Amino acid sequence: MIEQLKSIAEKALRDLESISTLESLEELRVAVLGKKGSLSEVLKGLGSVPAESRPAIGAAANEWKRKLEAALEARRTELEESRLSVQLEQERIDVTLPSRLAHSGSLHPITQTTRKIIQVFARLGFDVTTGPEIETEFLNFEAVNIPKDHPARDMQDTFFAGPGVVLRTHTSPVQMRSMREKGRWPVRILCPGAVYRCDDDATHSPMFHQIEGLWVDHGVKMSHLKGVLEFFAREIFGSDSKIRLRPSYFPFVEPGAEVDVSCFNCSGRGDDGCRVCRGSGWLEILGAGMVHPRLFEMAGFDKQAAYSGLTGFAFGLGVERIAMLLHRISDLRLMYQGDVRFLSQFRA
């Protein structure tokens, strides 16, 4: 019987050498070691062997089984490895191929311009504050010295959201909110945000963006306003920029001014046919002035203090206007159409 076991096992070991697939390896294992395999079949005859020879046969059978299992296992590992390496070879990835570029977005020109302006004023110590876009009619108008029925209301065609509630027509109410919240001075803030007016054409959109500035303290003068705005103009439009102030009227300031910056395209010369300034040499960029004392009163500042030298300046600018000037965009509506061909030109 031991001879029988030996010849089965040796044959199996020889067969193993010519096996080249995992499937036939499994077949061989079942044929020899399986429940009905040749080795098991032989061992079924163990019962008819004299009891004293059984241990030796058992030991020999176990020994062959162990050998065979080890050999099968080794062959299996080999076959698996070679199958894997064939697969790796077939599914080879060429890492030297140029990749397909992922489309990356970029910040909207309005956002880029807003951030740029904030950075300039941050260097002068202005803190960024924001207010709600749905505002009370009171804060949007009365509190910044535009009483009901005042003709100045006509300058800002208003969307009403409900009785006494408007979509803010400018960022000036944030001046009032900040002064009221803080309840004291100094106040030095910059308020960016969306504003709304019933307007719609190539240079006006029903929603646009403003940045409001406010600096309130004892001894703040018009010359400070000029200095701050000149610094801003140079940082944004170029170091040789100049500004000029033209007297103008805004209810929340006295005196008030419209502020122009020298044309960065023709260096302020007003060249015939300059496409940016149309030959005037100047570009209107914002409104500004010295804070009307009525606003301090409306803010609830102590009257005594308010009338003993508390002053301030304020300004308000349109972000779209500045972005359009800087990038020579001719139609405001391009800003809101989400056209990738337009937007992708503003990758930083």
Binding residues (CB under 6 A) for ligand DAH: these are 170, 172, 212, 250, 252-253, 256, 287-289, 314-316
Q: How far is the CB of 266 from ligand DAH (least distance, A)?
A: 26
Least distance to ligand DAH, CB of residue 299, Å: 14
Q: Are 128 and 190 in contact (CB under 8 A)?
A: yes
Please, which residue, 12 or 310, has the CB nearer to ligand DAH?
310
Cα–Cα distance measured from residue 158 to residue 197, given in angstroms and rounded to the nearest whole number: 5
Beta carbon nearer to ligand DAH, 252 or 264: 252
Q: Smaller CB distance to ligand DAH: residue 266 or 285?
A: 285
At closest approach, how far in Å is the CB of 319 from ligand DAH? Answer: 12
Indicate the residue among 215 and 264 with the shorter CB distance to ligand DAH.
Answer: 215
- Shortest gap between Cβ of 250 and ligand DAH (angstroms)? 4
Shortest separation between residue 175's beta carbon and ligand DAH, angstroms: 7
Closer to ligand DAH by CB, 71 or 118: give it.
118
Residue 331 C-beta: closest distance to ligand DAH, Å: 21
Find the shortest distance in angstroms from Cβ 226 to ligand DAH: 13
Decide whether 81 or 200 has the Cβ nearer to ligand DAH. 200
Burial of 257 (0-12, 13-18, 19+ CB in 10 A): buried
* Long-range contacts at 319-324 (CB < 8 A, ≥ 24 apart): 319/110, 319/113, 319/114, 319/117, 319/192, 319/208, 319/209, 319/210, 319/211, 320/110, 320/205, 320/208, 320/209, 321/285, 322/113, 322/117, 322/236, 322/285, 323/109, 323/110, 323/112, 323/113
Closer residue to ligand DAH in complex, CB, 68/253 = 253
Query: Which residues lie closer than 8 Å to 12 by C-beta, 6 or more apart?
Result: 28, 32, 68
